[in-house]
Structure 1
Amino acid sequence: MGDGRRGSIWSIPEGQGRGSRPAYSRAQITGAAIRIADADGLDAASMRRIAADLGTGAMSLYRYVPSRDDLIELMIDHVLLEADVPERPTGDWRADLTLIAENTRRMWLRHPWLAGLQRPRATFGPNRMRLLEFAFGALDVGFPIDEIFILLDMLNGYVERVVRGEIEWAREMRQSGMTPQRWMTESAPYVRELLGTGRYPMFERIVMDARLPHMSAEEQFRYGLDRVLDCIAAARP
């Protein structure tokens, strides 16, 4: 349900409309939605459920948040505050991008409903804009603007791919008890069969020599992140 408006929720001043002084704020509604989504998933954060959490009727909330899309936009921007970046880049682009990547990973793990979105949509809320300015500013060290765009997309793609995998593993463990360690143990007999054929030399190197599968999730993330940052360093003019 909504008022037929297209565009961004950020273009509508909060508290707009007729009637008495607003009883709620977008921040209250957004906070309730995030609490519900964190506990029970994004689909559970309906206007009816949010209204019950706040002790009001669902219809009254549309005065503050006209549509479901607006609600999700507010939720995404609110959790982006957890990226926790300084007001401006430090001058050390690698440290700045590491901060963004590590804080973004932690944000996704705290709010796994983000992985339920096909891809978190580009929004223009205040926290998104602050993060954008910081990230692009960190790479404003001689790169053309289009190059910065591609390099940050590469970084964000790495973070998103890894954290989606972590969230999926966590879901699998909750539902079936299958941990990475248990999976490796149960797969071991067939892996030995494959190695015994001598037909898969690269797979043998993975099994015998690779350190990555034995690292913690955080160590794996940081190892891959360092490789991505190395690529960015190599692309510098």
Structure 2
Amino acid sequence: MTTDRPELIWLRPERSARGPAPAHSRSAIAAAAIALADAEGLAAVSMRKVAASLGAGTMSLYNYVPAKEQLFDLMLDAVAGEWGLPDTPSGDARADLLEFAKCGLAAMRRHAWLPGLILTRPTIGPNSLRCTEFFLAVMSDSDQPPDTKMELFAMLNSSICMYAQWEANQRQAGGSERWQAELVAYLGQAAATGEYPHLAATFAASTNRAPDLDPDAIFTRAIGRVIAIILDPRTV
């Protein structure tokens, strides 16, 4: 069965040019869904629960958001509006990309469900397009091809998501310091077996200095390497 209504929600007008104003805005619907996901996880988000939080009937919500996948698109784009990026880059590409990454990580820390959804359902809503535009503005002096720039943008976003998930997994394992301590103990046992000489040499060198376990410092170092690749065409 075919329909003339577009599947992409951004191609659907939020309200008709005729008739009364809608009772619920897309921003209100997205906010209700985000609050539910923050409290109970993404799996708890349903059209029924979102409608109930708005005081609406489930079927009436479908008049605004025809499918749950489109609800996810509204959620993703609403959170993309939290990045808080400046209107124009500063001119320091490395600093601008690092600030972009830190804004993304901060949003993912506020919304634990966000990294997984970004990786599985990229979105192109208005706020997401502003983020893309900012990245391309930062890269405007680069001589890399346009398609390569978009690939690098995806790589940066994926790296932020993967770090956020790694950090969340550490918290679930009992905390960063505990996890690191157990990891060091295990690597020490493995290195002592003699089966991993390169690992043993690396482990011995690393134990001579105290590791910096501050999550923000780890992120800055890790994402800084990704940014170095993005900005240096010779490494691509």
TM-score normalised by L of structure 1: 0.84
When residues 37 and 122 of structure 1 are mapped into structure 2, their CA distance, relative to the original with a 3 A threshold, is: same
Give the secondary structure class of the aligned counterpart of 1:128.
helix
Size of the aligned set, in residue pairs, is: 230
- What 5-or-longer segments of structure 2 have no aligned partner? none
Equivalent residue in structure 2 for 1:207, among 203, 208, 212: 203
Following superposition of structure 1 onto structure 2, how do residues 91-130 of structure 1 map, counting pairs within 5 Å? 91-117=91-117, 119-130=119-130
Asked if 2 retains the 8 angstrom alpha-carbon contact of 1:114 and 1:120, the reply is no
State the Cα RMSD in Å. Answer: 2.6
Aligned to 1:221: 219
**How far off is 1:191 after superposition?**
4.1
* Residues in 2 aligned to 1:192 and 1:236: alpha-carbon distance in whole angstroms: 37
Asked if 2 retains the 8 angstrom alpha-carbon contact of 1:14 and 1:64, the reply is yes
Report percent identity of matched pairs: 38
- What 5-or-longer segments of structure 1 have no aligned partner? none
* Residues in 1 aligned to 2:10 and 2:229: alpha-carbon distance in whole angstroms: 36
Asked if 2 retains the 8 angstrom alpha-carbon contact of 1:142 and 1:236, the reply is no
* Residues in 2 aligned to 1:192 and 1:37: alpha-carbon distance in whole angstroms: 40
Aligned to 1:52: 52
When residues 151 and 192 of structure 1 are mapped into structure 2, their CA distance, relative to the original with a 3 A threshold, is: closer
* Residues in 1 aligned to 2:36 and 2:53: alpha-carbon distance in whole angstroms: 9
TM-score normalised by L of structure 2: 0.85
Q: Match of 2:59, as an amino acid? A: M
* Residues in 1 aligned to 2:151 and 2:196: alpha-carbon distance in whole angstroms: 35
* Residues in 2 aligned to 1:159 and 1:147: alpha-carbon distance in whole angstroms: 18
Asked if 2 retains the 8 angstrom alpha-carbon contact of 1:10 and 1:125, the reply is yes
Aligned to 1:62: 62
When residues 180 and 92 of structure 1 are mapped into structure 2, their CA distance, relative to the original with a 3 A threshold, is: closer
